[in-house]
Amino acid sequence: MLLTQNFLTALRGLMSNKLRSALTILGIVIGVAAVVALMAIGNGATSSITSRIEGNGSNLLNIQAGRSQRPSPGEMMAQTYLTYKDYQALSGTLTEVAGIAPAYQANYTITAGTTSASTSVIGVTQDYIPVHTYEVDTGRGITANDRTKLNKVAVIGATTAETFFGTNTALGQTIKINNVSFTVVGVLASKGSTGFDNQDDLVLVPLETGYTRLFGANALRNGEKIVSAIAVSAISSDSVDSVSTQITFVMRHQHHLATDDDDDFRISNQAALLETLTSVTTTLTTFLGAIAALSLLVGGIGIMNITLVSVSERTREIGLRKAVGARKDQILFQFLVETMTLSVSGGIIGILLGAAIAWVVTALGLITAVITISSVLLSFFFSMAIGLFFGIYPAFRAANLHPMEALRSE
């Protein structure tokens, strides 16, 4: 009963000074809204990155050319390359793998009818699509027969198909890559983008056809055919480390590296990359949330300031209540309820505002914001804690007023 009476008294006090009450809780509203919105955006970014990387296959290992050992002062850093022979050596040696896919990538101007655009063209084998976990939406993928017969066929991404053919079917259409005609035999299902890399804007051609018809001297080094990268899919996550060790052994042997030579290639692990990026985004989200929470402290100071003003204005009222028998704990409790009502009201409004901001960000397509129960509860209880903490001093000050002195105040 006492709690209800104090709550109703607090509401009457707040409603009697609507503008002052609104300005008082503004800091809490802004702080809670910022925490909820920023954490939702951060969680959305983490979820997006996770889904993109997992979409590439958590067991995927990607081999790229690195730099040779650190040069002496004044010496140039030697350029290194991956070759088609490296791929052949890995194919004949590695165990515990589901597939190995070499790729040579270059940008070319693609023309279809009156439409022209610069697009990534990748020479691949038949293993590229399954290793990179693409799915063929319509048509077919690159086959071993296409490579053997040097067929001028292409499999294009969903964005590429839309760019050149719109809503029309792309199958059977002809595109020109560097003025060489290719027939579209397949369209990949949409996979999305990762950062600045649109995984749906690409053209896949048979690797051998690319060497013969497109890439020319750019794909040769010292008479050897080179590749941009070699992707290796381990049969399970437990096999990733073993496969990585095997790759290192084979590649060092292929490149004739001495025991004390640094690797001239890099092996990136999707699982390790996912863990690193998730850690970074989680830390960033927490950091942004902590910065936003600082505004809650400002709001708390505002609540304490207004409560002190309220105590000064109601000194005679406090003295009168004490004179008729009100105890210290009752006065203390009344003012704590008032500050808690302010902070909780601000917290609820802030949560609703933060959710609205997250919804707008998602609706605009900037990023899919993800609001979690934990972030909502954290913001709500933190706003309560702010009200309790900053309301204690004014409440104690009111409770400790001497009845006679309070009644004599003007």
User: How does DSSP assign 54-65, residue by residue?
Assistant: HHT-TTEEEEEE
The string of pLDDT tens digits covering residues 299-317 is 777 777 777 777 666 666 6
Percent residues over pLDDT 70 in the chain: 78
pLDDT at 7: 65
More confident call, 25 vs 48: 25
Enumerate the β-bridge partners of residue 108.
Answer: 119
In the DSSP assignment, the letter for residue 66 is: -
For helices 18-55 and 328-363, the axis angle rounded to 10 degrees is 50
Using CA atoms, how far apart are residues 18 and 16, in angstroms rounded to an integer?
6
Q: Which helix (H) or strand (E) holds 136?
A: strand 136-139
Cβ within 8 Å of residue 406, ≥6 positions away: 315, 316, 318, 319, 320, 322
Percent residues over pLDDT 90 in the chain: 33
Enumerate the β-bridge partners of residue 193.
Answer: 198
The string of pLDDT tens digits covering residues 33-65 is 888 888 888 888 777 766 666 555 568 888 998
